[in-house]
Chain A
């Protein structure tokens, strides 16, 4: 699926740079993607891939010394870059919401859960205290918290990790957002709770027909939940396309490596498959393709020239020699 004028979110060449002007560190490097109404976009990558930073840039949460630039940053028909601060704030938390990785530290410890949810409603929708309270209790019920009438007066430290994340979700959907960004929503939670939270997110997404950006390092999760997927490495998008296609036949060596490192692919072997080396940091970005020091298929061309996005719109790879169906690079 390609982006259209009806797309919910369109991002073109988004970059986020830190450091000095002459020696910038590009945490996000010319990243482009789009989200459609009611669809789930998965953004996959290791830590350091720039996936979280991209979403923060969308929300306008990147501060000095980070610098955000983009050719286009469009939400529905609104150009986010031309909005003044007040107008931006109006959309934030209302039409675009975000939930974060660690729910235990993402809630203000000095106020009750109910107070914080009601605040979101108050700022964007208004209403009397009674109305907001009723709505807040209803939201807690929607996210599956038992006995919401009493929970509403709890302080965050009185809740478990899973509960806290549910509260965060309740706060995020309070104003019926069109787009929900979930940045590693389950990484900090127990394994048993993780599935519950994802289920909840997907259920809400279906019911409300929200666009959902699911950011995670967990491939298996994305395989199940996402409609389309974008794979990031060291601040760049290396592959994008429908989830089913990407997982059946990954075209980028990095995606292939990610798939191979899933425990399932190592069944019968002594060790987990892993790519040698580590993600480049600020001071050791290689020339040419960023993956080349670690890529088993790298050629001289890869070490010197940076590949562009190859392939049809909707199924692109940033590689000179995309893998074919049997997983081998197409050197010719």
Chain B
């Protein structure tokens, strides 16, 4: 098992190096040089410019600059925001919990709904439920996520008034930030109604963000279940006189979930992409919104650092998914 883990870890490192190369290259593609950009409209004097160049190491050859960059990253220095002058990493860490909270809730929604729909569709194959689920799924991943958000806001916030339009918490509440996760922090605080407020703010964004993953999971679960239900060992289980419920839950599901787990892992990338759009619409103070704003403000260190951090997180999550796959599928564990 350990061997398996080490092997997978080994494959991650070159990918990480590659990503860092890419983000490094990206910045150097900006038309104009960094110092001019930093200088903004006023610009710098010749001396100041030379001073900055030396300080930022821009006078060194490019490959050397890369190694300086790499070294900085590994020490946790991802640059400083042009706009706020705060270290990119610390800004990221401040805003990250909000995105995590949103993403996790969206993922929970997607998994529970998607699995349920997929299983039901497979069991009642060819029936009305099956067709309905497939249609919902297809529509789900054909939809532009930002439009879906606007529609839901139109319906539930504007017309029905059930949910708020934006933000994480009603302005009238003041909650101490303990974990960064509003749901937990509101429970910990003694403000009445804060938790409910946090929950109602979370509902719509989570559903919007989770819609596409839900559609994909539903589809994948259905086809995986159908394939498994046609396998010989299901026939054996029936020949043993097992109840339908037991066959589906114990025998079929365990095997059907294996490819679905891989798909779920791949959804993380999709979730983070979607978070960018979702946070923008709901004014959710997470890294997605932060990134979009920094693009508008030409805050390049943030763009570069944010991209690197998100890519790293995705790589880590994929590694985790691989490991989980090994746990769930005994055949993979025992192979060389």
Query: How far apart are A45's CB and chain B's nearest CB, in angstroms?
Result: 20
Contact A106 B232 (CB under 8 A): yes
CA distance A109 to B240 in the complex (A): 16
Contact residues, B102-138 vs A (CB, 8 A): none
Q: Is A195 an interface residue (CB 8 A)?
A: no
Chain B 214-250, CB-CB to A under 8 Å as 1, else 0, gives 0000000000000000011101111111110010000
Q: Is B254 an interface residue (CB 8 A)?
A: yes
For A115, the closest partner residue in chain B by CB is B250
Contact A168 B255 (CB under 8 A): no
Residues of B within 8 A of A119 (CB): 240, 242
For A98, the closest partner residue in chain B by CB is B239
Interface pairs (7), CB distance under 8 Å: A91-B241, A100-B235, A102-B232, A105-B232, A108-B236, A155-B330, A155-B334
Query: How far apart are B155's CB and chain A's nearest CB, in angstroms?
Result: 40
Q: In the complex, which of the residues A89, A100, A105, A110 contacts B242, with contact meaning CB atoms closer than 8 Å?
A: A89
Query: How far apart are A159's CB and chain B's nearest CB, in angstroms?
Result: 12
Given A100-B232, A105-B232, A157-B334: A110 in contact with B329 (beta carbons within 8 A): yes
Contact A168 B236 (CB under 8 A): yes
For B234, the closest partner residue in chain A by CB is A108
Residues of A within 8 A of B251 (CB): 108
Q: Is B297 an interface residue (CB 8 A)?
A: no
Residues of A within 8 A of B7 (CB): none
A-B CB proximity, top 5 nearest: A93-B241, A92-B241, A93-B240, A105-B232, A108-B233
Contact A109 B331 (CB under 8 A): yes
B interface with A by C-beta (< 8 Å): 231-233, 235-243, 246, 251, 254-255, 328-331, 334
For B333, the closest partner residue in chain A by CB is A155
Contact A93 B254 (CB under 8 A): no
Residues of B within 8 A of A106 (CB): 232-233, 235-236
Residues of A within 8 A of B328 (CB): 110
Residues of A within 8 A of B242 (CB): 89, 93, 119, 123
Contact A105 B331 (CB under 8 A): no
Contact B330 A109 (CB under 8 A): yes
Contact A89 B241 (CB under 8 A): yes
Contact B233 A109 (CB under 8 A): yes
A interface with B by C-beta (< 8 Å): 59, 61, 89-94, 97-98, 100, 102, 105-111, 119-120, 123-124, 155, 157-158, 168, 171
Residues of B within 8 A of A123 (CB): 240-243, 246
For A104, the closest partner residue in chain B by CB is B232
Q: In the complex, which of the residues A91, A97, A105, A158 contacts B233, with contact meaning CB atoms closer than 8 Å?
A: A105
Contact B243 A89 (CB under 8 A): yes
Q: In the complex, which of the residues A59, A102, A108, A109 contacts B239, with contact meaning CB atoms closer than 8 Å?
A: A59
Q: In the complex, which of the residues A111, A124, A155, A158 contacts B241, with contact meaning CB atoms closer than 8 Å?
A: A124
For B331, the closest partner residue in chain A by CB is A157
Residues of A within 8 A of B254 (CB): 108, 110-111
Residues of B within 8 A of A158 (CB): 334
CA distance A123 to B246 in the complex (A): 10
Residues of B within 8 A of A108 (CB): 233, 236-237, 251, 254-255
CA distance A97 to B97 in the complex (A): 56
Residues of B within 8 A of A120 (CB): 240
Residues of A within 8 A of B231 (CB): 105
Chain A CB within 10 Å — which of B233, B235, B243, B334 has the most?
B233
CA distance A108 to B330 in the complex (A): 11
Residues of B within 8 A of A92 (CB): 238-241
CA distance A157 to B233 in the complex (A): 13
CA distance A109 to B237 in the complex (A): 12
Query: How far apart are B254's CB and chain A's nearest CB, in angstroms?
Result: 5
Query: How far apart are A193's CB and chain B's nearest CB, in angstroms?
Result: 19
CA distance A118 to B237 in the complex (A): 13
For B253, the closest partner residue in chain A by CB is A110
For B237, the closest partner residue in chain A by CB is A108
Contact B241 A109 (CB under 8 A): no
Query: How far apart are B121's CB and chain A's nearest CB, in angstroms?
Result: 17
CA distance A111 to B331 in the complex (A): 11
For A110, the closest partner residue in chain B by CB is B254
Query: How far apart are B235's CB and chain A's nearest CB, in angstroms?
Result: 6
For A61, the closest partner residue in chain B by CB is B238
CA distance A130 to B331 in the complex (A): 27
CA distance A111 to B328 in the complex (A): 11
CA distance A110 to B246 in the complex (A): 15
Chain A CB within 10 Å — which of B238, B241, B330 has the most?
B241
